[in-house]
């Protein structure tokens, strides 16, 4: 505006009258272009926020395969010097389980070597006891967990066939393994895997595991990651030195922290109590990236939408103020206030409409760029694009309503005094 005023030709301004007060044709075009660009950016950002929000809602509705509510977990690391072999580790785990089960407010206890969503997972190659024509056993990759009696029940993982790991799966008994539905679906399609065997160890000295049950799929790596073949081996038959303890609370899971820490210290004061937190924390962490994207894009979209509304309001109000004399003359000559209101609003909505069209093109480019981040949401989501477009047009209508109402209420006599 300052540059425009400094360069303005006085004689031309006098000839332009109201047009000069409005800033001239160049000024009007510049303001219109800024409003259109603002609306375009606002639409693109709001579409992005809508896509991320819808993706977050879809992800939040995903079943992780276990019941995270009222679960509390912590880690235990047994030093090899104090617990050098499996019998020593197994005896400690049994004593710890007995103490934890006896704690008030604890309804179930389980141990596992790997915990869903904890980023602490292990995979291995195992063979299916189904000899090929050449006599070899087919090898498959599986994520595995060494799980104690009661672990699957504590986590709330549903049993689909057979049984879970129980007290009969002890040292000296036949090796037991429970597989998940993804494992059964991928490697035992059309047949019941319960009673079949898996083989580990070297081919010349295989170690066999009897499949005793099939449980539901658990999302180990993130709510947005697919289920993968997983095997649960009996902890009593191969206890590990490092494991997660999972407690199901009858009430607030955080109330178990102090009692659980005391129980561990009573068994071995040298062991640190590490990683204590509710299981819901892991679920929330798996949503963190999507929540951050939704929050940031929503904040920028809201700011851009506010600026767009202020822009179209300011432009329309400036035009109405500059055309006060013209509007008064038209009213004096018989123009209807409703016609003037509609005319002013049409101009504001025309600017917003042009911004929406340009913004849709920007939003399409944005959607293609973020498609890989979205979860079960198409980049071109018609509902999001349509609702955001209508929202911006509604904002433009509200922003132009007050200046348009002022234009329709101009006093003709007051306006004609300028003559």
- String of DSSP letters for 259-294: HHHHHHHHH-TTS--EEEEEHHHHHHHHTHHHHHHH
**Beta carbons of 352 and 390 less than 8 angstroms apart:** no
pLDDT, tens digit (0-9, with 9 covering 90-100), for 208-232: 999 999 999 999 888 888 889 999 9
At 88-138, the pLDDT tens digits run 999 999 999 999 999 999 999 999 999 999 887 788 889 998 877 777 788
Q: What single string gives the DSSP state of each residue in 109-169?
A: EEEESSBTTTTB-EEEEEEES---TTSPPPEEEEEEEEE-TTHHHHHTPPEEEE----TTS
pLDDT of 198 above 90: yes
Q: What does the alpha-carbon distance between residue 146 and residue 98 come to, in Å, rounded to a whole number?
A: 19
pLDDT of amino acid 349: 84
Q: How confident is the model at residue 31 (pLDDT cuts 50, 70, 90)?
A: confident
Tell me phi and psi for residue 130, to 5 degrees.
-145, 85
Please give the distance of CA 36 from its chain centroid, rounded to a whole number: 32
Phi, psi for residue 272 in degrees, rounded to 5: -75, 150
Rounded average pLDDT over 7-25: 55
Reply yes or no on whether the pLDDT at 25 is more than 70. no
Tell me what the pLDDT averaged over the chain comes to: 85
pTM listed for this prediction: 0.76
CB burial of residue 280 (10 Å; 0-12, 13-18, 19+): middle
**Inter-helix orientation angle 288-322/324-332, to 10°:** 60
Question: Per-residue pLDDT averaged across 2-9, rounded?
Answer: 62
Beta strands in 254-393 (DSSP E): 274-278
Query: Stretch 395-415: mean pLDDT, rounded?
Result: 73
Tokens of 19: 């047009």
- Please list, in sequence order, all residues whose beta carbon lies within 8 angstroms of the beta carbon of residue 190, skipping any fewer than 6 positions away: none
More confident call, 300 vs 26: 300
pLDDT in tens, 228-255: 999 999 999 999 999 999 999 988 999 9
- What SS3 state is found at 178? strand
Mean pLDDT of 138-166: 93
Check residue 403 and give its pLDDT.
75
Q: In this model, does residue 331 exceed pLDDT 70?
A: no
Question: What is the pLDDT at residue 270?
Answer: 93
Residue whose token pair is 């425009």: 4
d(Cα 232, Cα 179) in Å, to the nearest integer?
6
Q: Residue 238 gets which letter from DSSP?
A: S
């Amino acid at each position: 505006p300052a540059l425009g005023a400094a360069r303005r030709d006085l004689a031309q301004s006098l000839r332009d009258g109201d047009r000069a007060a409005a800033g001239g044709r160049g000024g009007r075009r510049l303001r219109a272009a800024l409003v259109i660009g603002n609306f375009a950016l606002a639409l693109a950002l709001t579409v992005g926020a809508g896509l991320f929000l819808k993706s977050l809602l879809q992800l939040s509705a995903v079943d992780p395969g276990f019941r995270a509510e009222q679960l509390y977990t912590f880690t235990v690391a047994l030093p090899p010097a104090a617990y050098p072999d499996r019998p020593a580790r197994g005896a400690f785990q049994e004593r710890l389980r007995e103490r934890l089960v006896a704690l008030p407010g604890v309804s179930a206890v389980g141990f596992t070597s790997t915990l869903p969503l904890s980023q602490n997972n292990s995979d291995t190659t195992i063979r299916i006891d189904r000899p090929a024509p050449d006599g070899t056993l087919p090898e498959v990759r599986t994520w595995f967990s060494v799980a104690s009696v009661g672990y699957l029940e504590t986590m709330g993982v549903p049993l689909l066939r057979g049984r879970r790991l129980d007290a009969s799966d002890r040292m000296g008994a036949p090796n037991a393994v429970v597989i998940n539905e993804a494992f059964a679906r991928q490697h035992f399609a059309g047949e019941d895997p319960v009673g079949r065997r898996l083989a580990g160890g070297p081919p010349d000295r295989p170690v066999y595991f009897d499949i005793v049950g099939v449980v539901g799929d658990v999302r180990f790596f993130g709510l947005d990651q697919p289920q993968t073949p997983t095997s649960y081996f009996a902890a009593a038959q191969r206890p590990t030195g490092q494991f997660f303890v999972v407690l199901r609370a009858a009430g607030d899971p955080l109330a178990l922290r102090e009692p659980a820490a005391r129980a561990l210290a009573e068994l071995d004061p040298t062991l640190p109590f590490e990683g204590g937190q509710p299981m819901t924390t892991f679920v929330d962490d798996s949503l963190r990236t999507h929540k951050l994207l939704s929050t940031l894009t929503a904040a920028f979209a809201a700011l851009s939408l506010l600026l767009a509304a202020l822009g179209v309001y300011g432009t329309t109000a400036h035009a109405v103020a500059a055309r006060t004399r013209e509007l008064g003359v038209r009213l004096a000559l018989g123009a209807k206030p409703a016609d003037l209101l509609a005319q002013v609003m049409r101009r504001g909505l025309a600017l917003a409409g042009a911004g929406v069209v340009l913004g849709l093109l920007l939003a399409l480019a944005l959607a293609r760029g973020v498609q890989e981040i979205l979860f079960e949401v198409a980049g071109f989501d018609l509902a999001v694009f349509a609702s955001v477009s209508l929202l911006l047009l509604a904002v433009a209508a509200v922003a132009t309503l007050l200046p348009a109402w002022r234009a329709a209420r101009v006093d003709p006599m007051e306006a004609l005094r300028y003559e």
